[in-house]
Structure 1
Amino acid sequence: MWGCVTATGVGARRPWEVEDGLWERIEPLLPIVERRYRYPGRKRLDQRKVLCGILFVLYTGIRWEFLPQELGFGSGMTCWRRLRDWNEAGVWKRLHELLLAELRAGDVLDLSRASADGSHLRALKGGDATGRSPVDRGKTGSKHHVIVDAHGIPLAATVTGGNRNDVTQLLPLIEAVPPIRGKRGRPRRRPDVLYADRGYDHDIYRRRVRELGIRPVIARRGTDHGSGLGKNRWVVEAAFALLHWFRRLRIRWEVRADIHQAFLTLGCAIICWRRLKASF
């Protein structure tokens, strides 16, 4: 039904198939698990195939137990465990940082300005980092908080309960931006200017953002629309559209917030990889 070919095989490549260039960046980040000499047990499934299974779930939103065995990804539980273990080892975070550094080295990343925003999603199974959503009739939900550069490249993304106010997550979101290397000198962590909508209109947070060396440009409540901020802020809405194109990020199925965060960070990394490929 789904079809499957290798990255070097014949035929159209499916989006969940790991390209050679991406695999060359991921493989060195994966933790090495030594096989026991005595009682080695069953041989571990190939890492690249398991990653294809994880991406298959990310792209299609399919439940782990329904992961098609005929595609060679291994069981859904095997893929879930690797996603968890690799997340705990910091693989997805380091992959995102690596790709951001390559984008900066290629002058694709633009930190002259950034935009931040939040987006609600339903959390059907509840769990950590969920809350009653004010935009979904009080149903249990979560929020994605994202900060992007001037071109809409995600710099950081976090998950909170659906009842959390956007402005309370502004500073944690800025702090979540990793040190971005790629050029000589000290790594960059801060944009020059930060754009945000009226949901972030609090003078105390403007002051705190300035203390970080960032100039805040935040719309004020009660003012007419048409301030002109939209011509810079649209990129964060475009980033949400790209993230929510991954079906697993449209609705939160994970009870554990760290597993959903793993998918979110991996989605950010995939977007960065696409931008990097386009710049070749």
Structure 2
Amino acid sequence: MPVLPSWLTEPLWEQFVVLLPVRPEFHPDHPLGCHRRRISDRIIFDKLLQLLRFGCSYEAIADTTCSATTIRGRRDEWIRLGVFAEFKRIALDSYDRIVGLVLDQITVDGCITKAPGGGEVAGRSPVDRGKQGLKRSGMTDGHGIPLGRVLAGANRHDSQLLAPTLDLMDDLGPLPQDITVHLDAGYDSDKTRALLAERGLRGRKAHKGEKAPIQASQRWHVERTHAWQNAFQGLARCYERQASAINAFFDLADTIITVRSLIRRAWTTHRWAERPHRRP
């Protein structure tokens, strides 16, 4: 059973391979020119998708096509080259050009997941008996397209991560003049109001002690995006210890979510050769 349907995997790979450096099939320094062939980048890409989707270990996903060491090494090489971050940026630019990001309505919220192996950004989880956990402060546009995230230990409060999360808006290019930030009751404080006022942002927050749905009707978009991200078992139960690797897998997941949403939105308005027969 494929990790992702072909109508989604193929467009992802066609863009991803463009970002990779050109490598010879054999190592040029071998004296006889008969060094073992380099493992195909496509095989590594498919393995990373399996790791992200199923949350299994590198040793479990390794087989005769490539080893766990090769997968880790190629992953780290692509992280150093900035391939995953650029991959996500291209997906966001494509969505913005074809559909349009709703940047006048921004939603921010935190989400706690498990991190059994600990790591650079893990901390004691207040909702899991003090076990190691990971918190991400995610930011989405008005339709739930993931724009970025800040990683921290599970014991960090959401409001403490609001400022670095809003700093991610600087990478989005030109922004509307009037931006509303939708937040839950955890951000209901004078400090948050002062922070939003300094940045010229309008806040729409749920208030502590009052029912939230009427006051924060747009905040469900970020909750849905967290659910989309947690559908990838490699993120819901993260065994990666390095922050760079965790961010790389988040960038890959966010790209999949963005491209899937783009294909779904464009299915009724555009025609292309690999267009799915049914609306995804």
Using structure 2 for the length normalisation, give the TM-score.
Answer: 0.85
What corresponds to 1:29 in structure 2? Answer: 19
Once residues 193 and 217 of structure 1 are traced to their aligned partners in structure 2, the CA distance between those partners, rounded to angstroms, is: 7
Structure-2 residue corresponding to 1:176: 168
Percent identity at matched positions?
A: 30
Separation in 1, partners of 2:190, 2:110: 19
- C-alpha change, 1:62 and 1:31, in structure 2 (3 Å) is same
Shift of 1:226: 4.1
What amino acid is the match of 1:27?
A: V
TM-aligned CA distance change 1:227 to 1:67, over 3 Å? closer
- Are the structure 2 counterparts of residues 226 and 120 from structure 1 closer, same or farther at C-alpha, using a change threshold of 3 Å? closer
Match of 2:265 in 1: 279
Q: Report what 1:239 is aligned to.
A: 225
Q: State whether structure 2 residue 202 is matched by structure 1 residue 211.
A: no
Q: Is the 8 A contact 1:108 1:279 kept in 2?
A: no
Unpaired runs of 5+ residues, structure 1, are 4-12, 181-185
State the alpha-carbon separation in 1 of the partners of residues 79 and 55 from structure 2.
19
- Aligned pair count? 261
How far, CA to CA, are the matches of 2:45 and 2:153 in structure 1? 28
Taking the TM superposition and a 5 Å limit, the aligned residue runs for 1:29-48 are 29-33=19-23, 36-39=27-30, 41-48=35-42
Aligned mates of 1:247, 1:29 — CA distance in 2: 26
The SS at the match of 1:146 is: strand
Structure 2 residue 188 is matched with structure 1 residue 201:
yes
1:161 positional shift:
0.5
Instruction: Tell me, yes or no, if the aligned pair for 1:16 and 1:55 is still in contact at 8 Å.
Output: no
- Residue deviations 1:118-154, cap 9 Å, x none? 1111211112111111111222111121111111110
Is this contact kept in 2: 1:16–1:52, CA < 8 A?
Answer: no
Q: Deviations over 1:93-134 (max 9, x none)?
A: 111111111111123421120111111112111121111111
User: CA separation of 1:68/1:78 partners in 2, compared to 1, >3 Å: closer, same or farther?
Assistant: closer
Aligned match of 1:51 in 37, 45, 53?
A: 45
8 Å CA contact retained: 2:182, 2:219 = yes
Match of 2:55 among 52, 56, 61: 61
Match of 2:236 in 1: 250
Partners of 2:152 and 2:5 in 1: how far apart?
27
- Of 257-266 and 225-234, more deviation after overlay is shown by 225-234
CA contact (8 A) 1:178 1:189 kept: no
Q: Deviation of residue 49 (structure 1)?
A: 1.6
TM-score by length of 1: 0.85
1:149 and 2:141 equivalent? yes
Query: Which amino acid in structure 2 is aligned with residue 200 of structure 1?
Result: Y
Corresponding residue number in structure 2 for 1:262: 248
From 69, 73, 76, the equivalent of 2:68 is 76
Equivalent in the alignment of 1:159: 151
What amino acid sits opposite 1:198 in the alignment? A
State whether residues 54 and 80 of structure 1, in contact with CA within 8 Å, keep that contact through their aligned partners in structure 2: no
The structural deviation recorded for 1:87 is 1.8
Indicate how the Cα distance of structure 1 residues 200 and 98 shifts in structure 2: closer, same or farther if over 3 A, else same.
same
C-alpha distance in 1 between matches for 2:176 and 2:68? 37
1:17-38 per-residue CA deviation (whole Å, 9 max, x = no partner) reads: 6733222221222234566532
Aligned to 1:19: 9
